[in-house]
Structure 1
Amino acid sequence: MTPKTGFETRFASNRNVKLHYVAAGSGPPLLFLHGFPDHSLGWRRQMEALCGSFRVLAPDLRGFGRSDAPRGHAHYTLLPHLVEDVLSVLVAEQLSQASIVGHDWGGTIAWWLAMRVPQVVRHLVVLSTPHPRNYLRAIADPTNARYFAYMRLFQEAGASAMPAPEKLAEWVDDEADRQALAESLRLSDPEAMLGYYRANIPLGRVPDIGQLPLVKAPTLVMFGAHDPYVPTNAYDGTFREVDNVTSFVVIPDAGHFIHHQAAGLVSREIEAWVSRPPSSFRSLG
């Protein structure tokens, strides 16, 4: 699939973990982080739309696609491993900063990157992903059990609960994109993908994660009004976590995978947000 897109195939390294990523274009760097069940080329539409003005980058997260899958759930903690993986891609591209776009697990990684390594995040764009504090509170709320039943099943049943790659890819409407995702998921490690849930979300009582650094980057949050995996009230209070301009875009007829379901709109919103200098957001206050 990669050669047909015209994207470059590259690799970064975080210690002994090799990370595959695709890249295209030139200009201000824009780094895309996928979620579950997805891969780097899940961002194809956004990358094709934006590579004329930006240097677009999208890794396969560790455990997915052509990236390494170290054994053991401890290798999939947000801190330090998943955040450092993003930094390794920036190092491979000789970048000190980029605008970061994340969806699902990629969105959670993006939030933590913006909190813990704020100097590298020029703009933050998160899709279908509440701030980690609010997300964990939503998971802990028993009234939201229907949203997170799949997550608990993964944690309790393990790899036996993981559907086949073709089944996991059914959410993609475009046939070529669906086949590309299924092929990538066949290369992925089921235990590694489960490691994200095992390492970062407690199986029992979900604790409050306490005081966290405020996000300093101008932050755009987009989500579908009919997301079956994230309750909309999980986005309440997001502005309290960001010390900058925060904007919300709610897409009325979309679910969880808005970068596919509303690809053009998502691409335009990203472009408009990251095209503005960060100082222009501050001047609004």
Structure 2
Amino acid sequence: MTELEVAFESKFAVNGNVKLHYTAAGSGPPIVFLHGFPDHGMGWRRQLEALCGRYRVIAPDLRGYGQSDAPQGYGNYVLANLVNDVLAVLAAEKLTQAAIVGHDWGGIVAWWLAIRAPQVVRHLVLLSTPHPRNHLNAIADPANAEMIAYIRSFQVPGAAQMLNIDDLATWVADPQDRQALTDSLRRSSPEAMLGYYRANIPLGKVPSLGQLPLVKAPTLVLFGTDDPYVPVSAFDGTYREVDNVTALIALPGAGHFIHHQAAKFVTEQIEAWVERSPSSFRHLA
């Protein structure tokens, strides 16, 4: 199904004083797609088009991006607010539960949603996103200093003014998708986009997360072995953070944006995972 054939709906949810735009299509079991940096809700276009014939697909612009509000002050971008944004979208759709798919910052939000509001997460799918504990450990590891240098560069004063929107969209190969992303990023707030890093990954010592509840949803993690931003080792031990069936799929030669680079394969894996009833993952008598 092509974009011209899909009846995409442009809708809004509200979390406090923040209005959140999201795109939706189709009917059936709901799947919520959470994008990362630098992306937007329609960055999931290939997945939305492929799955909307059998599912209700929902793709928000995260706060600060696209048509969603961008409240001033990076404190507005703490993870608790981002999790509540997803809950607001679910409420707007009158949903008590959904499959959650996340990439990059959307993946971090998806992990925390599954940790803090497990009752709403039917299935969890992460792209290029380690568990938050593993991610912070990777950031703190001096061996990864070059790989994560961009995170530090985003936190220095004036970093937002240095962002070049056209450059941010160069990772998208398809010209139409690249233009759509460029248009969306021009509506976005550079300060807000970098606020995610400033609010949640403070300069200096990386905080310890301590004891966290285990994720209860069946969890699928896909990642590229050539991701220039996330070390493969950050995915080690993911199963220790999940009290359910956990599958990790490495895509040899793939980079960070696997929902584009390996769109068909990724979409097939998402569908195969979410079409199973959560009860079917029970494997012990």
State the match for 1:28 in structure 2.
29
Which whole-Å deviations, capped at 9, do the CAs of 1:47-77 have from their partners, x for residues lacking one?
1010011000000000000000000011000
> What is the CA–CA distance in structure 1 between the aligned matches of 2:284 and 2:38, rounded to whole Å?
38
Q: Note closer, same or farther for the CA distance 1:130–1:3 as it changes in structure 2 (3 Å cut).
A: same
**TM-score of the aligned structures, taking structure 2 as reference length:** 0.97
Give the drift of 1:202. 1.5
Between the aligned partners of 2:231 and 2:44, the Cα distance in structure 1 is 24
| Contact kept? 1:165, 1:183, Cα under 8 Å | no
The CA RMSD over aligned residues, in Å, is 1.3
**Aligned counterparts of 1:130 and 1:97: Cα–Cα separation in 2:** 23
Deviating above 4 A after TM superposition, structure 1's stretches of 4 or more consecutive aligned residues are: 2-5
What is the DSSP-based 3-state SS (H/G/I as helix, E as strand, rest coil) of the residue aligned with 1:155?
A: coil
Partner letter of residue 90 of structure 1? L
> How far does residue 6 in structure 1 lie from its aligned partner after superposition?
3.0
The range that moved more, 154-163 or 211-220, is 154-163
Find the counterpart in structure 1 of residue 39 from structure 2.
38
Deviation at 1:159, TM superposition (A): 3.1
The aligned amino acid for 1:234 is A
The match for 2:111 is 111
Q: Contact 1:32–1:58 at 8 Å: present in 2 too?
A: yes
TM superposition score normalised by structure 1: 0.97
In the alignment, structure 2 segments of 5+ residues that lack a partner are none
Q: Is the Cα–Cα contact under 8 Å of residues 158 and 194 in structure 1 kept in the other structure?
A: no
Question: Whole-Å Cα distance in 2 between the matches of residues 236 and 225 of structure 1?
Answer: 13
Task: Using the TM superposition, give the Cα deviation of residue 4 of structure 1 relative to its aligned residue in structure 2, in angstroms.
Answer: 7.9
Shift of 1:162: 4.1
CA contact (8 A) 2:97 2:119 kept: yes
| Cα deviation, residue 208, structure 1 | 1.5
Residue equivalent to 1:235? 235
1:250 is aligned to 250
Sort the Cα spacing of 1:264 and 1:211 in 2 relative to 1 into closer, same or farther, 3 A: same
CA 1:15–1:3 in structure 2 vs 1: closer, same or farther (change >3 Å)? Answer: farther
What's the secondary structure of 1:156's corresponding residue?
Answer: coil
Q: Which residue matches 2:12?
A: 11
Amino acid at match of 1:71: Q
Work out the number of aligned pairs and report it.
283
- Matched residue SS, 1:134: helix
Which ranges of structure 1 fall in alignment gaps of 5 or more residues?
A: none
CA contact (8 A) 2:102 2:108 kept: yes
